[in-house]
Amino acid sequence: MHIATAFVSARRGALLLVGAGLVVAFAASPARADEANALTPFSAATGAVPPAPWHFSTLPNKTPTRFDVVSEAGRRVLKVDADDSYGLLSHRVQVPLTESTVLSWRWRVDQFVDGADLHTRAGDDGAAKLCVFFDFPADRLPLLERTRLGVARSVSGEEVPSEALCYVWDAKEAKGQMLVNAFTNRMHMVVLESGAAAQPGAWVSERRNLLADYRRAFGGEAKGATPGVAAVVVSADADNTHGHGLAYFSDLSLTGSAATRAETRPASGGTAE
């Protein structure tokens, strides 16, 4: 998310630190969204650039991952092309985390990043990640984590998110496995799909109860507290392995009571052909 300077030490594991750029991209007051979906559909794009308030960010001195809206079989979808690159496409929201909060989407991976290994910093790359940022109160974190987060926020000058949960489609990790990011334990990852789809080019549908997944990932430190959803982020990178990944995402759906999404100021979105 940028912002990166804030978390150079934890660099990307840090969608978190990059989350700072997220806040910069949006106006302070959220706008009421259609309660059926708090996320603007990619298919609403008039060209290749993802529609506002989707906002693209990368890290300094990194080749940016390409996020383009393209036509596939008569539908407008998001193409994510990571070629020795790093990038994030983020959408800020305000959605209470309840039993009814559900994130659903379809995706496919045409090329996995060779050499990617979610257990190591050197291999912390992936062709397809969908992350959720939570606004967990920093004062509830352990002292060391609170201190690190405070430093990140101080350096960036922004309200860096305190928790992130990422859904990944990995080439080899076991389906259903939950991992802690190699750079920071502020990010947990759930492997939803493993290896190539049963049929080449096949789309896979996902539907996740965010409260259940949040409790599995952060329930220990939350101790009954329930934060809200602050942002949804599409991520893909291949800068550590210098590899190449290619994936596609359909429109995403985030439903729940009192869902709102942020208004944006004009900004350059994702890359376009």
The CA distance from 94 to 227, in Å, is: 10
What's the length of the chain?
Answer: 273
The CA distance from 114 to 144, in Å, is: 34
The string of DSSP letters for 7-38 reads GTTTTTT-HHHHHHHHHHHEEEEEEE--TT-S
The CA distance from 151 to 242, in Å, is: 30
* Residuewise pLDDT in 10s, the chain (273 residues): 333 323 333 444 334 344 323 333 333 334 334 457 999 999 999 999 999 999 998 888 899 999 999 999 899 999 999 999 999 999 999 999 999 999 999 999 999 999 999 999 999 899 999 999 998 766 777 777 777 777 766 765 556 677 899 999 999 999 999 999 888 888 899 999 999 998 888 999 999 999 999 999 998 877 777 899 999 999 999 999 999 999 999 999 999 865 555 443 333 333 333
pLDDT reported for residue 160: 65
The CA distance from 118 to 194, in Å, is: 13
pLDDT reported for residue 224: 74
Q: What is the pTM of this model?
A: 0.81
Q: Which tokens go with 66?
A: 């390409």
Residue 76, helix vs strand vs coil: strand
pLDDT reported for residue 159: 60
Helix or strand (DSSP H, E) at 230: strand 229-237
pLDDT reported for residue 162: 78
CB 5 within 8 A of CB 62: no
Q: Which tokens go with 65?
A: 């991952």
Short-list 167, 136, 130, 157, CA closest to 42? 130
Give me the CATH code for the 4-264 domain, please: 2.60.120.260
Give residue for tokens 């994936």: 247
Short-list 217, 226, 104, CA closest to 166? 217
The CA distance from 163 to 165, in Å, is: 7
pLDDT reported for residue 172: 94
